[in-house]
Amino acid sequence: MGAGLEFKPKILGFLCNWCCYAGADLCGVSRFQYPPHIRVIRLMCSGRVDPAFIIRAFLNGTDGVFIGGCWLGECHYVTEGNYDALSVMHLGRKLLVHLGVNPERLRLEWVSASEGIRFAEVMNDFSKQIKILGPLGSSEGLDPKRLKLQLEAAARLIPYLKLVERERLKVRFNTEAEYNKFFSSDEVNRLFQELVVDKLSISQIMLLLHNQPLSTGEIAGILGLNPSEVSRHINSSSRHGFVRYDVNRNCYSLA
């Protein structure tokens, strides 16, 4: 590929005001170099990063999302929001996996206010990683329309996902290793599959039917699902009054 056609990834960073953003500022003052295609949003705490921000960033064509916060145990708030950011990162990655998006496109790192050089190193490494992955959806082999549908379905599901996290997956450990072990456990994977994955499929079906009436087979073909699985979701949605069956056209539409 010629130099003029070099892929320059779009990277969005959500940075904690007190540590990571201060580290980024020190990085600039010290003239440490990192890629210019990284855009930064300053938040008062990394714990304020909402899963909706992540999905919205990808919907807007961002190739990678970075979250930067204080080191664990060094949060400037009593609530220690960086622990919440760690949970959001793990749940966000699980959601991306089920959307067919490489979870490495979402990254969380700790950077203190005195670590300007570390900020530059992390940004350079993340930028290199995203360059290798390529534009969002390309390395995943996802059709742009299909990817947009999946991300929009996920965006609609965020309030429910936050409820699941608060009621079933709310934990507080002391170390990052404990969080990694918990969110990679069979129990959490089972809960995620049981409580979130089916809802994600239903959300995609509702978006499809919002555009036009479709048969079970057409829905299955578009989403790459088993027709029996689509029928199960359709029957459940029909019982709740969300969809209705058109006998004459042999298809489903929103009620």
Percentage, residues of the chain above pLDDT 90: 93
More confident residue, 249 or 117: 117
d(CA 141, CA 160) in angstroms, rounded, equals 28
Q: Are strands 64-69 and 11-16 parallel, antiparallel or unpaired?
A: parallel
pLDDT of 1 over the 70 cut: no
What confidence category does residue 192 fall into, taking pLDDT thresholds of 50, 70 and 90? very high
Structure tokens at 92: 């966000």
Does the pLDDT at position 2 exceed 60?
A: no
pTM over 0.85, yes/no? yes
What is the percentage of the chain residues whose pLDDT exceeds 70?
Answer: 98
pLDDT tens digits, one per residue of 43-99: 999 999 999 999 999 999 999 999 999 999 999 999 899 999 999 999 999 999 999
Residue-level pLDDT at 89 = 98
Please determine, for residue 6, whether its predicted confidence score (pLDDT) is greater than 90. no
Q: Considering only CA atoms, which of 100, 129, 112, 125 is closest in space to residue 197?
A: 100
Position 116 scores a pLDDT of: 97
User: Which residue reads 């709740």 in tokens?
Assistant: 240
Contact residues for 144 (Cβ-Cβ < 8 A; gap 6+) = 137
What is residue 163's predicted lDDT score, i.e. its pLDDT? 95
Residue 4, pLDDT above cutoff 60 = no
Q: What pLDDT shows up at residue 30?
A: 95
Residue-level pLDDT at 75: 94
Tokens of 54: 């992540």
Mean pLDDT of the chain: 94
Q: Record the tokens describing residue 136, joined without a space.
A: 């969002």
Q: Beginning with the edge strand found earlier in the chain, give each strand of the sheet holding 38-43 in spatial order.
A: 38-43, 11-16, 64-69, 106-110
> According to the model, what pLDDT value does residue 3 have?
52
Average pLDDT over residues 225-251: 93
Look at the block and give the residue holding tokens 């979701």.
233
